[in-house]
Amino acid sequence: MNSEFNEVVYLKVNPDVAEAVRKQEFASGLEHYKKVGRAQGRPTDYAMAVTELRQVLLERERHIAELSQAVQAMQNSTSWRLTRPVRAVGGLVSKLRRAWQIASSVSRRYGGWGGTARMAFGLFRREGVAGLRRGLMVVKTRSDSFDRNDYQAWLQRYATLTDESREAMRNKMAGFALQPLVSVLMPVYNAPVEFLSQAIDSVRSQLYPNWELCIADDASTDPRVRALLEAAAAQDSRIKIDFRAANGHISRASNSALALAQGEFVALFDHDDLLTEHALYWIVEAINRNPEAGLIYSDEDKVDATNRRYDPYFKSKLNYELLLAHNMICHLGVYRTALVRSLGGFRSEFDGAQDYDLALRVIEKLEPAQVVHVPHVLYHWRAIAGSTALGAGEKNYAAVAGRRAVAEHLARKGLAAEVTEAPEARAQNRVRFACPTPQPLVSIIIPTKDRADLLEMCLNSLQAKTSYSNYEVIIVDNGSVEPATQALFDRLKAPRFKVVRDDSPFNYSALNNRAARLARGELLCLMNNDIEILTPDWLEEMVSFAWREDVGCVGARLWYPDGRLQHGGCVIGVGGIAGHSHKYLPKGHVGYFARAVLHQSFSAVTAACLLVRRSTFEQMGGLDEQLVVAFNDVDFCLRVQAAGYRNVWTPYAEMNHHESASRGEEDSPEKIARFKREIDFVKARWGDDLLNDPTYSPNLTLDSEDFSYAWPPRVHSC
């Protein structure tokens, strides 16, 4: 049972909303949140109101210090002193206007000036002036006018190198125990000379000096290309060039560049792209932290013809199911040279997706810990005509080659599967793993109490829209008293249905654990009584993932009845504990880099519909019964993940979720106290893991579920 909207807490942290409800301007806090509060970024729980304050506003102090230095330098200038009288009046007016805007925003959010004063005093008492500064930053980043996806502002604040940061990196490099030679492989064919020149310059500008640039010109017909390459090699002895006699296309040219390489690692680099100045620094820093690394990859963004940066792909750690859907390694990819050579280098039959094919073959030879993600943008992908950076349609053959690469990879692993284009994301992949035969028995466990209308809808949809034949349904009746419910139970004559009476006090974990002991299936499906099946092959889809030995829990794509996404996997840390990926995203939208429509790993999935092998469930000891209502699914999934399994979410098992329609609000002192205990329990058990979800990026926010940028990112800067 996942974390839910809490009416009482929402009204407590938003006293102006409570007043509006009291005046009957809104029927409830939930109505306010749906109509107004969500768009305003209103806090919905205490964890969100405190944890995110601390994270986001810690950066505010650092930014203030930087501004103070700049202001001091400006104030020491002659022009500043001469224009002081003019500025005095205008500056005062501007400051007063801005102060009033901020103060008004704070006042509206915290229930008037009295609520604002209480909030400010509480922050000051706990954290002093720094807490007040952080509080102001939270207000700013959550205001309607603040664009959390303003990449230019984000870059300026968090990803702009200074003389001080360069010096810090040089000092750290001096202490590296490992300083390997990195061979940058660059196949070239008739590249626009302006962009080719910039590409070479970006390598020569690296802070890390121990590199070589291995260029293979694939028989370019533009004489300016050869002239530029020869001039570059004459200027820097670290640049090596092989002028190929005949055009052989990208893979053969890349192999020619590989033949020139003498480095311990090779970095793949296209002829019109750019490396950031600190790209190889971060790669070698990662190698020093992970000496056994065989593949290191980074975040990336795009640049247009004017070098304007945009569209950053902030990646997670290796996410195998997502890698099958698209090449999440891509740029910048750095590989151990000996391993690449042992695999035969690049394969020409996969031209257009030769790097994807290489990544898949390399990963087959590595342990997960040997694949290292660097959460910094180190690569700028040039988006011009003919480049797949501009759009998937630029090179359709590359998408076809990519699907073949995935299919061959799965075949080498002995996994029966079909690879097709993802139905909702062009040039992305869907993998259909073969469902085991004979079909293993699935035990679907549904706790319920009255609300016969909901349960009947759920059961009718199960019977009418489930093509998988080998399943049983265990209905756990937790104290129903309504005649309609008993009448429904009396109508359940099919042998696959079993009703089990359990009159113990409600404990979601205990109800499921007891039912699991009665279940006969090799697979257990935990399901809410307010689920409505939409796709007939939902169970085949989920079983095909769950039956794999390296997979733990499998979750489904759940929709609100109005067509907005309710569950697209769980992101750990959002709101303090966990939130739902892309929650409220309208149907037809693909989300951040298509992550709302592609199968992938998540640290957790909701138990509103969760499939797991019985053996794994028993290995974990079932759900933790100390978590009576909230976060029991999150905790269970985290334990499964810690045991070495991957939890998978698939968008191809779809259902409507009439969320928590059968449960009351958390509106009593006892329920509020229990909810807080469960929050404290999860935080005590998982600690900093709640801030470091391996299936999510530290450059993306924990403030909301929409994959917007983190202000500030949760990464170290040097």
pLDDT per residue as tens digits for the range 122-154: 556 555 665 565 456 555 555 556 899 999 999
What CA–CA distance (Å, rounded) separates 434 from 611?
17
CB 715 within 8 A of CB 375: yes
What CA–CA distance (Å, rounded) separates 273 from 241?
18
Higher pLDDT, residue 429 or 45? 429
pLDDT at position 22 is 75
Burial (CB count <10 Å: 0-12, 13-18, 19+), residue 595: buried
Convert the pLDDT of each residue in 206-241 to its tens digit: 999 999 999 999 999 999 999 999 999 999 999 999
Rounded average pLDDT over 88-102 = 53
pLDDT at position 119 is 56
**In the predicted model, what is the mean pLDDT of the chain?**
88
Both structure tokens of 388: 């797949």
pLDDT at position 31 is 80
**DSSP string computed for 328-366:** SS-SSEEEEHHHHHHTTS--GGGTTSHHHHHHHHHHHTS
Q: What is the three-class DSSP state of 120?
A: helix
Q: What DSSP character marks residue 248? A: -
Strands 309-313 and 497-501: unpaired
CB under 8 Å to 50, separation ≥6 — which residues?
A: 576
Q: Quick one: three-class SS letters along 56-107?
A: HHHHHHHHHHHHHHHHHHHHCCHHHHHCHHHHHHHHHHHHHHHHHHHHHHHH
- Predicted confidence band of residue 659 (pLDDT cuts 50, 70, 90): confident
Burial (CB count <10 Å: 0-12, 13-18, 19+), residue 197: middle
Convert the pLDDT of each residue in 601-629 to its tens digit: 999 999 999 999 999 999 999 999 999 99
- Predicted confidence band of residue 78 (pLDDT cuts 50, 70, 90): very low
Rounded average pLDDT over 553-557 = 99
CB 274 within 8 A of CB 198: yes
Rounded average pLDDT over 413-427 = 97
Least confident of 143-147, 298-302, 329-333, 655-659: 143-147
Over 60: is that where the pLDDT of 180 sits? yes
Rounded average pLDDT over 90-102 = 53
How many CB atoms sit inside 10 A of residue 48's CB?
24
Domain annotation for the chain: domains and CATH numbers: 7-150 (no CATH), 163-391 (3.90.550.10), 442-691 (3.90.550.10)
Least confident of 452-456, 657-661, 700-704: 657-661
pLDDT at position 32 is 84
pLDDT at position 389 is 58
CB 380 within 8 A of CB 313: no
pLDDT at position 669 is 80
Higher pLDDT, residue 3 or 411? 411
pLDDT at position 86 is 45
CB 564 within 8 A of CB 557: no
Over 50: is that where the pLDDT of 80 sits? no
pLDDT at position 526 is 99
Rounded average pLDDT over 56-79 = 46
Over 70: is that where the pLDDT of 46 sits? no
The dihedral through the CA atoms of 397, 402, 403, 407 has a sign that is positive
Burial (CB count <10 Å: 0-12, 13-18, 19+), residue 251: buried
